[in-house]
């Protein structure tokens, strides 16, 4: 009898260790706390913005499936005031230029044979920030040969149609995000480039001796792209990991498909961390200043002197960025697992 009880206890113990097999035995609150704590520890002082957005602030209710013309497209006077978004452009590395704003980033990678532009801010500010910024920095927008769109949200694809029409670069985007643009003509009014290159995992976009390697990192959107590439800092090669989508804008509030969506997101971050490590990345870039501190770091650059480059944080910190994203996504995923365990009959 005693043996049987011990055996039952052992089975229960291993079942709860396996978590999925006995959800009612799990201590969800403790698991959520542990995942959140892992993200907090990883964030340190470097990635507070990423931590706050993905772990602490309330998440959006889910995916926006509507197809409405944005109000700033219908009436340009409704665009946010310039002083909420304008930032000075900056030469960040020998061959990489920041041409974004206070909140959203756009990056110009210069080569001998032209420019690879990454992300394009909103339709209402891409002309001034990107084209104006390039001109201020001595770059000619006519030299844009490739345009890489990390994902099809208005804050990154906003200037793509205009830039494609004026300068005819090849445009690269993830397949599912090309589909999204084509199926939402109103949502992407004035922003939609014509379908061009569908990104493939590991694809290299090359101009002269510079290549950007494209990685498929679905999660933030199904077609989200991230990148690895090299830049030069005073002649020294420095490796960059570019994280193309961060917040949980997908369906995140119901177990089905939320748990699966978070799993996709977590696996992408795990994989991107490996790609960053393999590339030897010591710089983490994003398309939001909130996540990589670009706006503040650009101002630090001016006072750098002979000191270290403010963006060159070392490979361990680059890894920590992806740990923050994974920890916060896992905490949110466990919350949904808890919800599913509490009301399994309502699943689906
Ligand atoms: Zn987005």
Q: Cα(105)–Cα(98) distance, rounded to whole angstroms?
A: 7
Q: How far away, in angstroms, is 153 Cα from ligand 1 center?
A: 5
Residues with Cβ within 8 Å of 275's Cβ and at least 6 positions away in sequence, in order, are 213, 215, 226, 228, 241
Q: What is the pLDDT of residues 26-80, one digit of tens each?
A: 999 999 999 999 999 989 989 988 898 888 888 876 777 899 999 999 999 999 9
pLDDT score, position 10? 47
Answer yes or no: are the C-beta atoms of 67 and 79 closer than 8 Å. Answer: no
pLDDT score, position 348? 46
Q: What is the pLDDT of residues 301-327, one digit of tens each?
A: 988 999 999 999 999 999 999 999 999
Q: How far away, in angstroms, is 34 Cα from ligand 1 center?
A: 27
Q: How far away, in angstroms, is 151 Cα from ligand 1 center?
A: 6
Q: How far away, in angstroms, is 265 Cα from ligand 1 center?
A: 13
Phi and psi at residue 212, in whole multiples of 5°? -110, 125
Answer yes or no: are the C-beta atoms of 54 and 248 closer than 8 Å. Answer: yes
> 251 or 211: whose pLDDT is higher?
211
| pLDDT at residue 347 is higher than 50 | no
Q: How far away, in angstroms, is 226 Cα from ligand 1 center?
A: 13
Q: How far away, in angstroms, is 155 Cα from ligand 1 center?
A: 7
Q: How far away, in angstroms, is 341 Cα from ligand 1 center?
A: 30
Q: What is the pLDDT of residues 86-139, one digit of tens each?
A: 999 999 999 999 999 999 999 999 999 999 999 999 999 999 999 999 999 999
| pLDDT at residue 199 is higher than 90 | yes
């Amino acid at each position: 009898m005693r043996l049987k009880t011990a055996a039952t206890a052992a089975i229960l113990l291993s079942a709860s260790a396996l978590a999925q097999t006995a959800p009612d035995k799990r201590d969800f609150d403790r698991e959520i706390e542990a995942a959140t704590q892992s993200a907090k520890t990883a964030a340190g002082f470097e990635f507070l913005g990423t931590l706050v957005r993905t772990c602490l602030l309330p998440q959006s209710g889910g995916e926006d499936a509507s197809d409405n013309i944005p109000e700033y497209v219908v009436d340009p006077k409704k665009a946010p005031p310039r002083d909420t978004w304008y930032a000075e452009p900056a030469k960040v590395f020998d061959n990489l230029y920041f041409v974004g704003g206070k909140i959203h980033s756009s990056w110009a990678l210069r080569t001998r044979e032209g420019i690879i532009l990454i992300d394009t801010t909103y339709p209402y500010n891409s002309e001034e920030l990107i084209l104006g910024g390039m001109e201020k920095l001595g770059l000619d927008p006519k030299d844009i040969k490739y345009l890489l769109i990390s994902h099809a949200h208005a804050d990154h694809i906003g200037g793509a149609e205009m830039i494609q029409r004026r300068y005819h670069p090849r445009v690269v985007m993830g397949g599912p995000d090309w589909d999204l643009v084509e199926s939402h003509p109103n949502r992407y009014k004035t922003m939609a480039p014509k379908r061009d290159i569908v990104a493939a995992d590991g694809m290299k976009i090359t101009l002269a001796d510079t290549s950007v390697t494209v990685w498929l990192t679905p999660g933030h959107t199904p077609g989200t792209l991230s990148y690895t590439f090299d830049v030069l800092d005073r002649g020294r090669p420095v490796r960059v990991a570019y994280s193309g989508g961060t917040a949980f804008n997908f369906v995140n509030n119901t177990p089905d498909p939320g748990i699966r969506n978070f799993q996709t997101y977590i696996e992408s971050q795990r994989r991107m961390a490996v790609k960053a490590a393999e590339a030897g990345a010591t710089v983490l870039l994003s398309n939001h200043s909130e996540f990589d501190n670009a706006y503040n770091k650009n101002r630090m650059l001016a006072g750098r002197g002979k000191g270290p480059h403010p963006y060159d944080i070392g490979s361990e910190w680059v890894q920590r960025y992806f740990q923050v994203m994974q920890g916060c996504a896992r905490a949110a995923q466990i919350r949904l697992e808890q919800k599913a365990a509490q009301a399994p009959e309502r699943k689906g």
